[in-house]
Amino acid sequence: MLIKNTNTSPLHEAMLYEKLDDNKVRCDLCAHRCVIAAGRKGICLVRENRDGALYTLVYGRTISQHVDPVEKKPLFHFHPGTLAYSIATPGCNFRCTFCQNWEISQMPREQHLIMGTEATPAEIVADARRTRCRSIAYTYTEPTIFFEYAYDTARLAHEQGLGNLFITNGYETPEAVEMIRPYLDAANVDLKAFTKDFYRKMVGAKLQPVLDTLKLMKQLGIWIEVTTLIIPTLNDSEDELRDIARFIRDELDVDTPWHVSAFYPTYKLLDKPRTPPATLRRAREIGLEEGLHYVYEGNVYGSEGENTYCYQCGARLIHRRGFTIMENRIVDGHCPVCGATVAGVGMG
């Protein structure tokens, strides 16, 4: 496949790869661990072996730059009400049939293009500060595939007091997670389903590496929130939703927020209906029944499931309308009614 790269910047050598015999390399950035022959690209189509060395084709090249509420990531327990400077490059190491950002995530595959606007890590950090953002989010596409760019930006951001957020499919290798850890404050990880079959057919990946990444991030002290896009008939059974809730409870902890989000037909998955609101309500009920303290309904507007409630006394602590906080009653990280601690980072 010939991919036209409109990036005129000098090539940037990749991190985390091994040189093999016959000018091949093994990329150790994501769990695919692609073995790439000279002149070929990995599954993500944005990392290329040139004469036995691996290069990233998207360093310093953004396809999207926006200022978003941090709630849009979604991160509800990381400095609520603040802004996140959001960046992405083209490409992804997954091939989700239901991708909601497929125009940019699948651009190298669908359009045979790698496009974007030049922006150095220093320029990204300066713009984040200028727009009064509290953090920088590596999002919209998969940050793992632009790891070098994210790493250099995150390091500068950390030095200047900004937080760093990965909105990720969780397919990083342990080496990648440990490398970014000193600069990564929080992550929202997609746990797309809880069956190997779903990941194989719908995503082109495996389930276990995602579970391993979640556990490792938790062990390393990164604040984690989990999102599951609920697709009718594919991952919406009570048994599967309960399995996800139990994994979060037992392998992470009861304070890990779980966002159950509504699907709408897009990209290659057009024959499934939108997720009924009742399905999201039931998913939230299941999470709470299994002992999770914070379960949220996403991609719906005006639902009670958008709000944060005290797990101990039931008081409404944060009232949300979409991504806007209408009221935040949390005082010094505690419920003002019963004094229970509200888990998270920068929670009042």
> What's the confidence (pLDDT) of residue 236?
97
Banded model confidence at residue 9, pLDDT cuts 50, 70, 90 = low
pLDDT band for position 348 (cuts 50, 70, 90): confident
pLDDT tens-digit profile of 24-72?
Answer: 999 999 999 999 999 999 999 999 999 999 999 999 999 999 999 999 9
23 or 301, higher pLDDT: 23
**Model pLDDT, residue 214:** 98
Average pLDDT over residues 95-113: 95
Predicted confidence at residue 205, as pLDDT, reads 98
pLDDT of residue 161: 97
Q: How confident is the model at residue 202 (pLDDT cuts 50, 70, 90)?
A: very high
CATH superfamily entry for domain 61-309 = Aldolase class I (3.20.20.70)
Question: What's the whole-number average pLDDT of the chain?
Answer: 96
Residue 4 has pLDDT above 70, yes or no: no
pLDDT higher than 90, residue 237: yes
What percent of the chain clears pLDDT 70, i.e. is strictly above it?
Answer: 97
The pLDDT score that the predictor gives to residue 301 is: 85
pLDDT for res 11 = 84
Sorted by where each begins, the domain ranges of the chain are 4-56, 61-309, 310-348
State the SS3 of the chain.
CCCEECCCCCCEECCCEEECHHHCEEECCECCCCEECCCCECCCCCEEEECCEEEECCCCEECEEEEEEHHHCCCCCECCCCEEEEEECCCCCCCCCCCCCHHHHCHHHHCCEECCEECCHHHHHHHHHHCCCCEEEECCCCHHHHHHHHHHHHHHHHHCCCEEEEEECCCECHHHHHHHHHHCCEEEEECCCCCHHHHHHHHCCCCHHHHHHHHHHHHCCCEEEEEEEECCCCCCCHHHHHHHHHHHHHHHCCCCCEEEEECCCECCECCCCCCCHHHHHHHHHHHHHCCCCCEEEECCCCCHHHCEECCCCCCEEEEEECCEEEEECCECCECCCCCCECCCECCC
Question: What would the pLDDT profile of 159-197 be if each residue is shown by its tens digit?
Answer: 999 999 999 999 999 999 999 999 999 999 999 999 999
Give me the residue label for tokens 């997954």: 94
Least confident stretch, 115-119, 180-184, 189-193, 291-295: 115-119
For 205-229, what is each residue's pLDDT tens digit?
999 999 999 999 999 999 999 999 9
**Per-residue pLDDT, 6:** 57
